[in-house]
Amino acid sequence: MLAHQSSAASLTLTTSPALPTLPARPRKQRCRSSSHRERVQVRAATLQDLTLARTEHRTFAQPAAEDFLQHPAQVLDDRQLLRECEPFRSPLKVAVLLSGGVDSSCALHLLKKAGHHVTAFYLQIWFQEDFRNYWDQCPWEDDLDYCQKVCRTAGVDLHTVPLTDHYWDRVVSHSIAEIKAGRTPNPDILCNSRVKFGAFYEYLAKQQDGSFDRIASGHYAKILRADDPDGPVRLALAPDPIKDQTYFLAHLSQNQLSKAMFPLGHLTKGEVRSLAQAAGLPNQARRDSQGICFLGKVKFTEFVEQHLGVWPGCIVEEESGEVIGYHRGFWFHTVGQRRGIPLNGGPWYVTRKDIRTNTVYISRDYYSVEKERSAFTCRGVNWINGPPDMALPVYCKIRHGPTMYQCFASFINDDQTALTVKLDGNDQGLAPGQYAVFYQGEVCLGSGVIQTTGFSPSLSVPSDCKGLGLDTHSAVAC
């Protein structure tokens, strides 16, 4: 809860820009500089002040508590900032997915401000203990420590939910199988649909009698609701194109989204950072996490090797067909990859993989016209609100981020869960197993898994690779 003091001291609040990717913060750094302690004192800003602070630099007077209640304009600004919290339906019983990061902590803060009855849940989804991992370096202890501090400050109960087995069965094992098949899975998408808004829903239904009206998280996305609170909802883009996370949520069903709430959906990352500072959150200076959540500090290549082993094979130059090196297994490489290719004379890029011959094809001329990738097929498409009108403009994201293509999409043989898609530009990273997410206007329509791409040269086994123990049981070009 934001504090209100009776003095009229002048405060300055600067809206922070979206933060760039930074190295992971060293664990358990408890020392704080004097300048940091001074910044922490700026906590008495009202939500109305934060709205005004969307300008780059704003100086404002801090109102007394009674003045705040007497000014309709300030109350209206509060409602605007809280609009994704459904304040007009307060009080709702809300379960908040708390990760220990700034985003979910700010979401909890806003929900409390909106008057809801809030309970926090921390999902423990780390490795099964039969896999060699770095428990002493794993950030989950820091995460839980921050969760406890945030909840103590807010006066909110915190529950830890052990979902390791669910995560392993529904996300990790599937990802391993996809990598082994030569595809490029997205564990974060599966984590949302199968665990955070899947297994956790099941937990609430069983352990909490399904008594929560909403399940909230710190995702950057909007839920568009009709006047009927029980009517269908739509998933919509957040205003921050860099942080927008609809790509990761597009696999959720209508039933899952209808129970969800994203309090930060209309805010930018800079505004959330400012809110965290003004509210004096214990984790206000904590950096965003990066990478695949279940790996912790285990390197991706080590994880893959532990489960799939090593299978030496040829690296072939795409243009000449010559073997110019060797790799440790095609599953260590993905289309469009630049790092990790053990050759000089680069930069080299992976153009495709042949899992039948365990061959990785690379090129230095990656962006040439003959290597254009602008067409693909999708199957198993999840339409959040049913199949759309394909006569209207459709847009597509191939990965998380601001890049979006206009596309022409059509159903395959009247199957509304299967599509052929032609982009209006080239995406050199198209690969089977990736998710394609579709939009009309600001509304996210749903997602499907890419099955094939338009670039599929004939398969052949380079003569230099014969005798390396190549298996021929599954001919697929990726």
Q: Which of 293, 396, 444, 478 is catalytic?
A: 293
Whole-angstrom CA distances from 105 to 92, 98, 109, 193, 267 are: 18, 7, 6, 21, 14
Known active-site residue 31: no
Length of the chain counted residue by residue:
478
Known active-site residue 147: no
DSSP letter at 453 equals E
Q: Which of 85, 106, 191, 378 is catalytic?
A: 191
DSSP string, 350-397: EEEEETTTTEEEEES-TT-GGG---EEEEEEEEETTSS--TTS-EEEE
Whole-angstrom CA distances from 357 to 111, 243, 314, 316 are: 55, 39, 9, 11
Beta strands (DSSP E) in 36-150 are: 57-61, 93-97, 117-124
Only one residue has tokens 């409602």, namely 79
91: preceding bond cis by omega (within 30 degrees):
yes
Beta carbons of 182 and 197 less than 8 angstroms apart: no
C-alpha dihedral over 283, 286, 288, 293, to 10 degrees? -70
First to last CA, the chain: 52
Active site members = 191, 293
